Amino acid sequence: MKKFFLFFTTFLFSFGFSQQYKEPYRPQFHFTPPAKWMNDPNGMVYLNGKYHLFYQYYPDGTVWGPMHWGHAESTDLLHWKQLPIALYPDNLGWIFSGSCVIDKENTAGFGKNAMIAIFTYHNEEILKSGRKNIESQGIAYSLDEGLTWTKYEQNPVLNNSGEQDFRDPKVFWNESTSKWVMTLAVGNQIKFFSSANLKSWQHESTFKPEDDLKELGVWECPDLFQIKTDSGETKWVLIINHGDKAPNGGSGIRYFVGNFDGKTFQETQKSLWLDYGTDFYAGVTFSNVPNNKTVLLGWMSNWQYAQKVPTEVWRSAMTLPRELTLKKDVYFYKLEQNIVETFASITTPIFNKKTVQLPLNNDVNLSQTEIVFDLDKNTTNLSIAFSNQKGDVFSIELKDGKVFTNRLKSGKIDFSETFTNKIQSMDLAGKKATSFQLILDKSSVEILINKGEFSVTNLFFPNEEYSILAIKSNQKATKLKNLKINTVKSVWN
């Protein structure tokens, strides 16, 4: 009877939104909630052939409110099946961000291969009383692949000692110590805890970056993972999401490369930013992915204007999932990002030419499009523009070793002063731009340069879909090589 009820509830939930996903600006191959507010991806984990995406969700409004965990699953990281809400607020607080693990050895005693969520309780009632220790960590478990959940009766499993920001646990099993490790954002530092059973936690160390950039706003959604370099070395990467003062304003993702001995993380180089657009935040990786792949997903928005963007039925989308690799670049290591390989299965070629002499002007529906091309190493100037008959234009410019993105006249911009308060820029750090991949989906573009060495993610809201592609250069005889334009199918129809 219980299984029938779950099936019936899921059927109604899916059917009720089957006619949606066609609203203005609704992405067609990026994940969005059926309706209402969404922010951080949470609890991302792989189990029995399915990727599970949980996410910060407020089912009663299109602005941030009492947080739940929404839930969806996929076999390819692109086509998502919407499932009923997984975790609801309770008397301990709202359900903030966290992670999921698969307890293969039943260390917690909930059952072998139990899916266990570790999340932050956020208690607004404590905040109203004037106390600061409003956040603690709780756990819940599922024995049916995330369809139903039981919260641990002795929650919370980790209380704080007075910090107001004590949140977003990312947990993994550390083979070298045979313990679970929790990475937690606490104020403007990261704390590491360990546990043998996910219930009793011990503080191991605190990481404060050497640059100690306090002005970066709230620290959130940390992630620590081991990754092999292209040369076979093993390094550790620590991701920290910052609520403010990213390179082009507002929210952004910074990462450190270093070493971790099971207790302490030591950075071995200066931190780097993962993306130089304004719409890539709360990025964390999936747990338990086959073949030890490292796949990251982020929230495609910015806290400066996320609650004001001109969508009505739903608010916010996730980025496309990106596989991370670590490359050594002379003296330092750098993460490179590439869209997961299954993305090719939803693209259809409409233009393919080995050499294209600039300027190029094409009438093409750009609402669901991938554009890929290579550049000669001597190309130092390039301008790419998406526009429409109403005069809206979003432009990308390569100039003087930098890449600029401009949405000052991209369409609807009056909902927020910070949405268009400047032209965004990214320094290529002495590198030449040799390739571009541009992926447009209704109201966003993800720009990957040099096969994912550089990344820029931006939103835009044109008054009608972009339908004109113009690429030019002020250098004589500039050519594009291996130009491909693909349409991208909707994953919702």
DSSP 65: -
E-only strand ranges, 216-321: 219-228, 234-242, 252-260, 265-267, 272-273, 281-285, 295-299, 314-315
Dihedral over Cα of 413, 419, 420, 424: its sign:
negative
From the list 40, 165, 279, 392, the catalytic residue is 40
156 vs 151: CA distance, rounded Å: 10
Q: Which three-class secondary structure state does DSSP give residue 192? A: strand
User: β-strands 281-285, 295-299: how paired?
Assistant: antiparallel
The CA-based angle 38-44-47, given to 5 degrees, is: 135
159 vs 97: CA distance, rounded Å: 16
Residue with tokens 């307890």, as numbered in its chain:
103
Q: Within the chain, how many helices (H) and strands (E) appear?
A: 2, 34
Type and span of the H or E element at 41: strand 36-47
Dihedral over Cα of 71, 77, 78, 79: its sign:
negative
Active-site annotation holds for 90: no
Q: Which two tokens stand for residue 485?
A: 């334009």
Backbone angles phi, psi at 382, to 5 degrees: -155, 140
E-only strand ranges, 316-441: 322-329, 332-339, 347-357, 360-363, 368-375, 382-387, 393-399, 402-409, 424-427, 435-441
Contact 374, 480 (CB under 8 A): yes
Q: Which residues are known to be catalytic?
A: 40
